[in-house]
Structure 1
């Protein structure tokens, strides 16, 4: 029988692509998913009708994970809460940091032969387009005050300690900003919908690294056999300013290009106003000052290490945008 891999977060945007990649290589798949409301007829649309096992469990309740890894030779831990608004949220820590410890304990008990941890490139220091950040640069995200970045950094340290202290056979992969089809929630691809609907009138001062979600899935599954234990790999592709990226996205979707630069000071003032609204109402505003600070910076990274050691593909960003938009159209999001 083929080896079985436990995948956490299997019904998420990246998770469903990881599952498809595993099945395409004849791995057995056990999906760890949150408990479903069966009484209300709830199901797992991304995973329905696939030849996989499902184990319902909650990372914040380790007792529910008992037996989840039984018979598995590897774990891909892709579950995470990527919420950034509000900037501070204990639930983010429970999912990303405490939850990672629960999966590490599960791996230790099951004597897993390979553990692939899916982090984020934001646990490393970013650079410029000319000199992008890489895996050697220390965490620079603490300046923002975002529990998402801080919790993912803490979780990465947990995995690294497990490698050092009890020889966990782990490889760590860290995606940048993922685009592509199948983002049902939607998550990162919501940016395309906002642009399509004319809600982005301008562009922030910064930029980021973009990558096709399928390339991330391929490199993540490759890490089951490639890569060095204890090493981190940034999974990315193209560095672009927001101005250039929004222009490309708009052209592909056939909508007007946002033409107005948003000065950093203006964006900061708006972020501060949103923070005040949140403090007064208790409800998150459209964004917050931490999100503004991130958008004003250039979060540029190099994926050369992953290309060399994990055989990571580099699908053109244009294809990722087009496939994402086509999926939204075919599924009546637009």
Structure 2
């Protein structure tokens, strides 16, 4: 039986990765932070290893005896936009995993990045893996750190002959989001907390599809190649209407043009500077929401057998999971 080390195993995607690996007959070693939320791993027959991704000695020990590594561990914080910890973990942690993987001569490493390390496009001409990074404009350490980590992986492939494949999910939806990451948007819509509709949009994908393609990348895909894992390109108005319809609530209707979004972002930044506490938004977040982050996922469909579950199904399953787990409150 082949063993896979999964970093970030207790995260939204990580929990689905562990289940997919077990379903296919792999043994799983889960690398998680000490005292972190383990609910996504409850009752799974896996080996749990605790530590800090920046601790090179511990990372080497965790990888010892494993055949594969799926490096999904990262800090996804975007508020505040600048964070030394985000940089340290996403870049330094990736460097530690890469060095240990080279030393252990693992059979393959799958690095989980984000589609935002590539340039986005329009609905008519979506961005793909050839589009250069455009995220510098936002001033988000999360995006910048993931681009830097991606470059580290490519360098290890080139200079150290590391057998690595890179996958880059878009905006994931689905059940088992114990930490309330991307699915928090659904709860905000359900509770009537989303006041307006930004003019931008993004690509959405079922988390199970991402997990399936990521595990496929242990044997499929070309070394040193990147694959965007996504499905449907939707404007925020389209997405909010779909989500609200599934949850049987009214979608927001007030448009938020770029000047208004920018003003809200600046006001949020000033509030943070005055109080020392992050506001609900920041100028980087409102700038992102004003752009259309649309992507073409044809490469991953052809080379990684990326499934294409309708986004409506992902929303339905996420909402059902929220309901059955007592996460909903009345409007």
TM-score range, shorter chain: over 0.9
| Structure 2 unmatched runs, 5+ | none
Q: How far, CA to CA, are the matches of 2:243 and 2:37 in structure 1?
A: 32
Q: How far, CA to CA, are the matches of 1:47 and 1:182 in structure 2?
A: 10
Instruction: Verify: 1:8 aligned to 2:2, yes or no.
Output: no
- The Cα RMSD (Å) is 0.9
Match of 2:213 in 1: 219
Instruction: Verify: 1:20 aligned to 2:19, yes or no.
Output: yes
Q: CA deviation at 1:227?
A: 0.1
In the TM superposition, what whole-angstrom CA distance separates every residue of 1:219-242 from its partner, at most 9, and x where no partner exists?
A: 000000000000000000000000
Match of 2:276 in 1: 282
Instruction: Verify: 1:138 aligned to 2:132, yes or no.
Output: yes
- Equivalent of 2:266 in 266, 272, 290: 272
Q: How far, CA to CA, are the matches of 1:96 and 1:230 in structure 2?
A: 19
Match of 1:39 in 2: none
Aligned positions of 1:1-334 closer than 5 A: 2-36=1-35, 44-334=38-328
Q: How far, CA to CA, are the matches of 1:182 and 1:304 in structure 2?
A: 27
| Structure 1 unmatched runs, 5+ | 37-41
Q: CA deviation at 1:252?
A: 0.3
Q: CA deviation at 1:65?
A: 2.2
Q: How far, CA to CA, are the matches of 1:295 and 1:68 in structure 2?
A: 38
In the TM superposition, what whole-angstrom CA distance separates every residue of 1:140-160 from its partner, at most 9, and x where no partner exists?
A: 000100000000000000000
SS in 1 for 2:177: coil
Q: CA deviation at 1:61?
A: 2.2
Q: How far, CA to CA, are the matches of 1:172 and 1:241 in structure 2?
A: 27
In the TM superposition, what whole-angstrom CA distance separates every residue of 1:82-127 from its partner, at most 9, and x where no partner exists?
A: 1000010001001111110011111012111100000000000000
Q: Which moved more, 1:44-53 or 1:130-139?
A: 44-53
Q: CA deviation at 1:43?
A: 6.5
**TM-score, scaled to structure 1:** 0.97
